[in-house]
Chain A
Amino acid sequence: MPNRFYGAGLPRVHAENLTGLLVVIEGADGSGRSTQIRLLRDWLEGQGHAVVEVGLRRSPLVAKELSAAKEGHILGRTTMSLFYATDFADQLEHVMIPALRAGDIVLADRYVYTLMARDIVRGGDRAWVERIYGMALVPDVVFYLKVRPRILVERNLEKNGTLDYWESGLDIGLARDMFDSFLKYQTLIQAEFARMQERYGLETVNGNRAIRTIATDLRARIEGALGQRLGSADDAGPPRRPLSKRLSEVS
Chain B
Amino acid sequence: MAILLKSTAPRADDAHHERSTYRGKLIAVEGLDGSGKSTQIYLLKRWLELQNARVSFTEWNSSTIVKAATKRGKKDQLLTPTTFSLIHSTDFAHRYERYIVPLLRHGYIVLADRYVFTALARDAVRGCDRDWVRNLYSFAIVPDVTFYFDVPLETAVDRILSGRPSLKYHEAGMDLGLSDDVNESFRLFQGRIKDEYARLAEEFNFTVIDASKPIETQQHLVRAIVSDRIDLARFVRRSRPSA
Contacts and interface: CB of A to CB of B under 8 A. Distances in A.
Asked whether A and B interact, the reply is yes
A154 interface: no
Size category of the binding interface on chain B: 35 or more
B107 interface: no
B126 to A, nearest CB: 7
What 6 A-B pairs are tightest by C-beta distance, nearest first? A76-B97, A11-B127, A8-B129, A86-B86, A125-B11, A123-B12
Contacts of A74: 65
Contacts, number: 120
A62 B98 CA distance: 20
Contacts of B69: 61-62, 64-65
Given A10-B81, A11-B129, 18 more contacts: A61-B69, A61-B73, A62-B69, A74-B65, A79-B93, A82-B86, A82-B90, A83-B90, A85-B86, A86-B86, A86-B90, A89-B80, A125-B10, A128-B138, A131-B8, A131-B131, A131-B132, A131-B135
Interface in B84-98: 86-87, 89-90, 93-94, 96-98
Nearest to B15: A78
Interface of B: 7-15, 65-66, 68-69, 72-73, 78-83, 86-87, 89-90, 93-94, 96-98, 126-129, 131-132, 135-136, 138-139
Contact of B132 (A7, A12, A82): A7
A60 interface: yes
Interface residues of A, number: 38
A131 B127 CA distance: 17
A78 B132 contact: no
Contact of A128 (B11, B79, B126): B11
Contacts of B15: 76-78
A10 B80 contact: yes
Contact of A75 (B94, B136, B138): B94
Contacts of B9: 125, 127
Contacts of B10: 125
Most chain A CB atoms below 10 A, which of B69, B79, B81, B132: B69
B28 to A, nearest CB: 19
A163 interface: no
A7 B129 CA distance: 10
B65 A75 contact: yes
Given A122-B13, A124-B11, A79 B94 contact: yes
7 contacts: A13-B80, A65-B69, A77-B15, A81-B93, A82-B90, A86-B83, A123-B13
A65 B78 CA distance: 15
A86 B8 contact: no
A134 interface: yes
A62 B78 CA distance: 11
